[in-house]
Structure 1
Amino acid sequence: MSVLETYEKHDPGQPVARVIGGVCIMAVVLFAALGPLMVPGDPFAQSLMKALAGPEAAAPLGYDHLGRSVYHRLAQALRLSPLIALASVATAGTAGLLLGTLAAARGGWIDRLLTMLADALLALPGLLLVLIVLAMVPGTALGFWAGLSLVLWVEFFRLTRAATRETLASPAVQASRLLGFGPAYLFRVHVWPEIAPMMLTAAAFGTATAIMAIAALGFVHVGMPAPTPELGLMMVELLPYWREAPLALLSPVIATFALLLGLTLLAGSRRT
């Protein structure tokens, strides 16, 4: 019986959390992918005659203050933010995995230098680093990707370094080295199976963190420029009109909550 199976045996709520998390994420993904196909429309089209109007067949979630379909803008926003977050996590995870393995395997000045760099970045607030990058590349997906990758790689690096050092010191790895197996074999057979669950958990949490950061910066008008459909920007644009169009405001809020809840439940259910 695996460690995960043993854990789930003593904590039966974990499979339930995983199912709920998967359903939340799948619902968001299906809406973002299939929503515009079921109800065709333009997320940028404006009609001031329909400003803050309620739901109708062409706009099932109503219209915003500029007469744009909230349904189609939300579907577009749920493609943009997760894609930036996933790209950032993929870049940060790859960098953290490679550098963490290098630091653990080589040790010496390489380990000290990389650890010092990670600690220096960790000492700075994450949003501040993203803001610094956005100041150089303002209002672009590239800026968010670079800034979030710079913030997120530290966590992957620290996890990989700690787990790899412990694994490389194990008797099984020492025996494999005596038998003449190279670094690629040691990583594939011994290191990766040990760190994979932690990396997947960190990736889920990192994706949630990146989505929250993008939405938070959009909420304070530092993120993607208007009229780009983005979750935080949609919330801040619709907040003054919450009495006139509560459904329009609640739509990005509920979608963001469902996405973050799903990622958090999936990440928490993978802890061993």
Structure 2
Amino acid sequence: MSALHPAAIVDLPARPILQHWGLGVLVAVLLLGLGSAWLGQNPAVQNLDQTLTAPSGAHWLGTDHLGRDLLARMGEAVRVSFWLALGSALLAVALGTFLGLWAAWQRGWTDRLLCLWADGVAAIPGLLWVLLVAALAPGHKWALYSGLVLTAWVEFFRLVRSRASLTLAGDAVQAGRLLGFGTPYLLRWYVLPPLRADLLRLWSYAVANAVLAVAALGFVGVGLRPPTAELGLMMTEALPYYDEAPWLLAGPVLLLVLVVAALQSATGAPQEDPA
């Protein structure tokens, strides 16, 4: 009987625990986003008679400098951030997977040109791409979508291209070609199934990166504009009142940390081949 590696003994029980924790946090955050809307609190309604109030029964997380309910605004921020992140990540995985399969199938100049395009995009930091595109139309969601997709598709392209190239050169695909199976059949039954788990993991990381990018742009004033509730924008608005009302800054910061950590833990780390 072969001995287990010490790292494997620690990692086997820890991985499901992290996944369950991540999924639980995501469910709780989504319930916050949906529940805050059901409570009837309007995140844009101002009440200047109740500015910077501490958490209480009337306002569970307190109010901001304009008397707006912080729980309602955090719920709206969750909905806005998740829609932007999920939508951009789905478009990125679709674009990257299509181009990766195309490059692996066609090879030759098609593969070289697509690789050069991907390398050119990856040469510039992703957040800078998002910042440049979002600066063309500040406050518009389509600009954020475009910038996030432009930076995220490269990782999917590289993963799909490298894995699909090996699969397409394998004996199973060659035998399928000799039997007369068409391209859609080969891609569906031979190429895509081994990629699903890795694409799901990479997609969760892309969603986490998109949430961080949206918050960073809102923090520097290039993302969404007031009165839209967004985590980075809420942090910027709360900074001048940090000493007087620290809960204003603590809420969005903690929520952002939990969301990103949960997204990276929910699908688990990639499996490594045994030594």
The bucket for the TM-score relative to the shorter chain is: over 0.9
Q: Mean alpha-carbon deviation: is it higher for 57-66 or for 224-233?
A: 57-66
Aligned to 1:19: 20
Displacement of 1:8: 9.7
Q: Does 1:75 align with 2:75?
A: yes
**Contact (CA 8 Å) 1:100, 1:158: kept in 2 or not?**
yes
Matched, 1:227 2:227: yes
SS in 2 for 1:180: coil
- Normalised by the length of structure 2, the TM-score is 0.92
Q: Which residue of 2 aligns with 1:46?
A: 46
> Do the aligned residues in 1 keep the contact of 2:135 with 2:222 (CA within 8 Å)?
no
2: CA distance between counterparts of 1:195 and 1:262?
A: 22
CA-CA distance at 1:57 after TM superposition: 3.2
- Higher mean C-alpha deviation, range 153-162 or range 217-226: 217-226
**Cα separation, 2, equivalents of 1:245 and 1:10:** 41
- 8 Å CA contact 2:204–2:263 kept in 1: the answer is yes
1:110-125 to 2 correspondences below 5 Å: 110-125=110-125
Aligned AA for 1:14? Answer: R
Give the 5 Å matches for 1:36-115: 36-37=37-38, 39-115=39-115
CA contact (8 A) 1:8 1:15 kept: no
Distance across 2 between alignment mates of 1:220 and 1:132 = 13
Structural mapping, 1:28-39, within 5 Å: 28-37=29-38, 39=39
Q: How far 1:248 moved relative to its partner?
A: 2.3
Q: Distance in 1 between matches of 2:55 and 2:125?
A: 41
Q: Secondary structure at the match of 1:12?
A: helix
Amino acid at match of 2:192: W
1:161 matched residue in structure 2: 161
Return the offset for 1:260.
0.7
Residues in 1 aligned to 2:111 and 2:178: alpha-carbon distance in whole angstroms: 24
Q: How many residues align?
A: 265
**Worse-matched range after superposition: 69-78 or 233-242:** 233-242
Q: Give yes or no for contact 1:224–1:230 (8 Å, CA) kept in 2.
A: yes
Tell me, what secondary structure is at the counterpart of 1:222?
coil
Cα deviation for residue 55 of structure 1 reads 2.0
Structure 1 CA distance for aligned equivalents of residues 76 and 11 of structure 2 = 41
Tell me which residue corresponds to 1:134. 134
- Inter-partner Cα distance in structure 2 for 1:235 and 1:153: 29
* Structure 1 unaligned blocks of 5 or more: 1-6
Q: What secondary structure is seen at the aligned counterpart in 2 of 1:202?
A: helix
| Separation in structure 1 between the aligned mates of residue 241 and residue 257 of structure 2, nearest angstrom | 20
Query: 1:252 corresponds to which residue?
Result: 252
CA deviations on 1:193-252 (whole Å, 9 max, x unpaired) are 111111111100000000001111111111111121000010111122122222222111
- Structure 1 residue 10: deviation in Å? 6.5
* Letter in structure 2 aligned against 1:215: A
Per the TM alignment, residue 270 of structure 1 is displaced from its structure 2 partner at its CA by: 5.1
